[in-house]
Amino acid sequence: MNIVNQLIEFFRYKDKSIPYREQLSPDNGTLILYLKEMINMGMGKVLFLFLISLPLGIIAGGIELLFGFTILYFLSSLHIMSYGNLPNWFFIKNILTPTWAFLIVGILRVALSFLSLLINSISSEGFGFKVRRIIVDSIFSGEALESGISVAELSNLQTNLIGKATNFIYHLLNIITYLFFGAFVLISLFSLSPQLSIVTVISLVLLGLPVLITRKSHNNYSSKRFLKFREFSIKITKGLKNLYFLKIIGQQYQQQKILYEANYAMFLYGFKYYFGFLLNSNLPGVVVISVVLSIITVNRKFHFMDNSIFLPFIYLLIQINANTGKLIMALGNMQFDKRFFSELMKTLREIQLVNKTHETMEDVIEVSTVETLKVEHLAIGRDSILVKDININSGRGGFVYITGHSGKGKTTLLMTLIGLIPAMEGAIYLNGIDIKHVDFKKFRKYLAYSGPDPFLFDATIRENILFGTDHMTLREEEIWRAMDIAECDFVRHLPEQLDHMLYEGGEGISAGQKQRLSIARALLRNPKILLLDEATANIDEKTEEKIITAIRYNFPDVLIFAVSHRKSLIKHAICMIEL
């Protein structure tokens, strides 16, 4: 497919009987589809800047036409050329001297080019800003537990997709600017000499055939490079995650060989892609020299144009050539980045859909106490049912022990009980109220959670355990009381005690000590419901018993849900669930 057909396909909205999102794929996207997708993502401000690129292209073309005649006007003042046949619309000759005209229009030309690139850059960066905002909102503002995005997907978004998609927007904006610029300059050429313009177009088409011929293979290498890049990223990530396994079974060298081959293929396709890219970018320079010679020869024979305005014509022709080179380069870059943009849009749609699904839950009743919690014929899961027919009858001061094999849904059950994951079947009643109608956004201040891998950040122990609490009202003795209940006596032996710095998620203290700090933090929230999700997995049973006993004694009204593989917690249980 030649460049003209590509541009037509790019700007056309395809089959209107098919929803536009089903048409948006790496090989099937058009400008209208991309604009619709951006509007759907709430990128109105970005699109406003996006649309400015249209008139900028036309204005830039007008400035080039003006500058072409300004050069002639300036050279005439040096008695190099005559400007007797300057057009009537060239008003500058009536208000500025040749030198000032050349200086001012030249500066205006540079300034407009700078403004065009600046707006396109701001638009593309604005796109990246909005995408990152959507990701942040999906993770921290949505009601979905996992926001539809995994850690691997987030890493891919941050290191790969966002940057490439931002480049796609930048090149897309440049293409629009170049197209309108080229159209205006081409019209200007026809206004100066229709005959020579026709000769120019014919020469450009004939001499530009090598560029068109190499386009298909160029795009093919772009697609293959993208697929190899993705394949390499997936394989090396899997290899890293399973390194011990591969070494144990002696397959690490075979995996290494596979990665070598994928890396070489990526290099090879990349080399071919950039070779074609540079060929496409530099051939127009050869073409324009040939075209200039052609029109000079034709004009000398047929005298289609007065020699006095031949200079502006050649100048505009050179600008069209330069613009065509930029257009081809931008199309090549956009073709390469288009796949990343499509994949990014697909990922954003998925994570937004997850949050939108959860936002439809009704929050109508505010609850501030826990008297009873009743579960009837509950089925839990995420995409499909993991466990069904779960029944619980507990309440204030209760202790629900949950156990089972890995992957059976223990954590999913916890998150379903507090409304973070919707139930697949059955019902959950808090104080007799279906939790679908409980305002969990407000009730969460009465919840506390401690998990197997505590969330600790680079800060002091004090700042870590006060995270998520109403620390302004907590007294020092209350902090130490929670620390004592959680058996955090090791903190007293640190030189700076509560002001001891933790680095890299708690480097310098053991896994069990991290879990004890996490439990202390949970207790400082003074919860009505306490969720212990393998919260003592790295703590010895004797210390675990002290902690649980102290919690039951000091917080007699708290409803505890404890997930554990250990049987030592059964003696505290009022209700036991085995999944």
State yes or no: pLDDT of 485 exceeds 60. yes
State yes or no: pLDDT of 357 exceeds 50. no
User: pLDDT value at position 214?
Assistant: 65
Q: What percent of the chain has pLDDT over 70?
A: 76
User: pLDDT value at position 550?
Assistant: 92
Contact, 368 vs 358, CB < 8 A? no
pLDDT band at 236 (very low <50, low <70, confident <90, very high): confident
Mean pLDDT over each residue of the chain, to the nearest integer: 77
Report phi then psi at 428, rounded to 5: -125, 130
pLDDT band at 411 (very low <50, low <70, confident <90, very high): confident
User: pLDDT value at position 469?
Assistant: 75
Mean pLDDT of 239-260: 72
84 vs 274, residue with greater confidence: 274
State yes or no: pLDDT of 12 exceeds 50. no
User: pLDDT value at position 213?
Assistant: 66
pLDDT band at 107 (very low <50, low <70, confident <90, very high): very high
pLDDT band at 326 (very low <50, low <70, confident <90, very high): confident
pTM above 0.75, yes or no: no
pLDDT band at 47 (very low <50, low <70, confident <90, very high): low
Nearest Cα neighbor of 175 from 9, 328, 340, 342 is 328
Contact, 524 vs 465, CB < 8 A? yes
User: pLDDT value at position 15?
Assistant: 44
Distance of CA 385 to the CA centre of its chain: 31
Residue-wise pLDDT tens digits, 187-214: 888 888 888 788 777 766 765 566 666 6
340 is written with which tokens? 């990343």
User: pLDDT value at position 263?
Assistant: 83
280 vs 51: CA distance, rounded Å: 28
State yes or no: pLDDT of 156 exceeds 80. no
State yes or no: pLDDT of 266 exceeds 60. yes
183 vs 319: CA distance, rounded Å: 12
Hunting for tokens 């207790």 — which residue is that?
A: 523
State yes or no: pLDDT of 545 exceeds 80. yes
Helices 541-554, 476-485: crossing angle, 10 deg rounding: 130
Mean pLDDT of 41-53: 67
Task: Assign residue 409 a region (left: φ > 0; alpha: ψ between -120 and 50; beta: otherwise).
Answer: left
pLDDT band at 440 (very low <50, low <70, confident <90, very high): confident
Mean pLDDT of 293-311: 76
Distance of CA 404 to the CA centre of its chain: 37
User: pLDDT value at position 167?
Assistant: 82
State yes or no: pLDDT of 22 exceeds 50. no
Hunting for tokens 């503002």 — which residue is that?
A: 141
39 vs 33: CA distance, rounded Å: 10
Q: Taking CA 5 as the corner, what is the angle to CA 333 and CA 22, rounded to the nearest 5 degrees?
A: 75
The 8 Å CB, 24+ separation contacts for 282-289 are: 282/325, 283/208, 283/210, 283/211, 284/208, 284/211, 284/321, 284/322, 284/324, 284/325, 284/328, 285/321, 285/325, 286/207, 287/203, 287/204, 287/207, 287/208, 287/211, 287/321, 288/317, 288/318, 288/321
Mean pLDDT of 123-142: 73
Report phi then psi at 282, rounded to 5: -100, -20
Domains of the chain, earliest start first:
29-359 (1.20.1560.10), 372-578 (3.40.50.300)
519 vs 14: CA distance, rounded Å: 57
Residue 387 pairs in a beta bridge with 380
Question: Would you state the torsion angle of the CA atoms of residues 415, 419, 422, 424, taken in this order, to the nearest 10 degrees?
Answer: 70
User: pLDDT value at position 25?
Assistant: 47
Residue-wise pLDDT tens digits, 520-541: 988 888 888 899 888 888 888 8
50 vs 482, residue with greater confidence: 482
State yes or no: pLDDT of 490 exceeds 50. yes
Residue-wise pLDDT tens digits, 366-387: 777 888 888 888 888 877 888 8
User: pLDDT value at position 499?
Assistant: 87
Count how many residues are written for the chain: 579
Report phi then psi at 231, rounded to 5: -60, -45
Mean pLDDT of 221-238: 75
Nearest Cα neighbor of 72 from 110, 91, 98, 109 is 98
User: pLDDT value at position 23?
Assistant: 43
Mean pLDDT of 435-439: 81
User: pLDDT value at position 40?
Assistant: 64
